[in-house]
């Protein structure tokens, strides 16, 4: 078996969730890496959409932000941000949203706003951007986050993007017709919401990871499904594609400033 890092396992496991039929609203960072690995391996016909209005984009390097020129340069077409949200997103035309976050709770609600009291936070985070609308309007949501007590918390100080609210039928009671988060992919395991309670439980454990390690890294008493499988290890092809796009991205973003050799 080829050696791989926990982050590589997380990214590849997330990529496998996507198919050619998906129209996917992509978040920056880990979600972007996963979506583009899927595009470059088993899902070449996937439609990737970024918040800045780029539709059908096929970046050669991973973008630093939604405003990265690489996205527009490689897109099938680009629309205005109002059209992106009103016509495409709120119009129900996007099957899948791929998000990350600073913190998540047991019902897959996300915080990207503040750590600590809102008026006097310990840390002020980047904010919601389009994530609240993505979480509400995409047909389903996948979330990628490294599993740690810092990120997986008992109670969020602020809910930026709603997952399953207080659990149960919260989304339905609030009038939301989309599924919300259906999978949370971490560097140690994969979680899914319970069909009834909507509380996240472990359904797949990555190779070499113990249940004890998962418990130790979660901020609440995490549950395991009745049947838990082992996540298939990354293939050589998946690793090659991921490492190749990461290498291209690093080279592109490092530039050729003083002390650096020209490419």
Active site residues: 51
| Nearest CA among 234, 233, 252, 251 for reference residue 242 | 234
C-alpha–C-alpha distance, residues 162 and 158, integer Å: 10
How do strand 123-124 and strand 103-104 relate by DSSP bridges? Answer: unpaired
Burial of 131 (0-12, 13-18, 19+ CB in 10 A): buried
C-alpha–C-alpha distance, residues 36 and 74, integer Å: 13
How do strand 140-144 and strand 77-78 relate by DSSP bridges? Answer: unpaired
| Nearest CA among 3, 52, 9, 61 for reference residue 32 | 61
Under DSSP, is residue 262 helix (H, G, I), strand (E, B) or coil?
coil
C-alpha–C-alpha distance, residues 66 and 192, integer Å: 28
Output b/e per residue, 77-95; b: 16+ Cβ within 10 A: ebbeeeebbeebbeeeebb
Q: At 223, phi and psi to the nearest 5?
A: -105, 155
C-alpha–C-alpha distance, residues 108 and 183, integer Å: 9
């Amino acid at each position: 078996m080829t050696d791989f890092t926990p982050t590589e396992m997380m990214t590849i496991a997330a990529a496998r969730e996507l198919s050619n039929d998906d129209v996917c609203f992509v978040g920056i960072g880990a979600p972007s890496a996963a979506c583009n690995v899927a595009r470059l391996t088993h899902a070449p016909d996937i439609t990737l959409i970024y918040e800045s209005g780029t539709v059908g984009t096929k970046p050669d390097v991973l973008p630093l932000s939604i405003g990265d020129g690489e996205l527009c340069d490689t897109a099938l077409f680009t629309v205005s941000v109002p059209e992106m949200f009103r016509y495409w997103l709120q119009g129900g035309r996007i099957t899948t949203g791929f998000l990350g976050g600073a913190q998540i709770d047991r019902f897959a609600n996300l915080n990207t706003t503040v750590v600590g009291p809102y008026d006097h936070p310990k840390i002020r985070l980047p904010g919601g951007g389009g994530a609240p609308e993505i979480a509400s309007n995409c047909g389903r949501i996948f979330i990628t986050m490294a599993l740690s007590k810092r990120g997986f918390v008992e109670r969020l100080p602020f809910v930026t993007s709603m997952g399953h609210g207080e659990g149960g039928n919260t989304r339905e009671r609030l009038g939301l017709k989309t599924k919300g988060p259906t999978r949370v992919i971490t560097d140690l395991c994969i979680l899914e919401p319970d069909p009834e309670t909507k509380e996240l439980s472990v359904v797949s454990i990555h190779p070499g990871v113990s249940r004890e390690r998962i418990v130790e890294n979660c901020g609440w008493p995490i549950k395991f499904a009745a049947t838990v499988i082992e996540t298939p290890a990354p293939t050589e092809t998946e690793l090659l594609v991921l490492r190749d796009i990461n290498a291209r991205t690093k080279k592109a973003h490092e530039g050729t400033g003083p002390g650096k050799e020209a490419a």
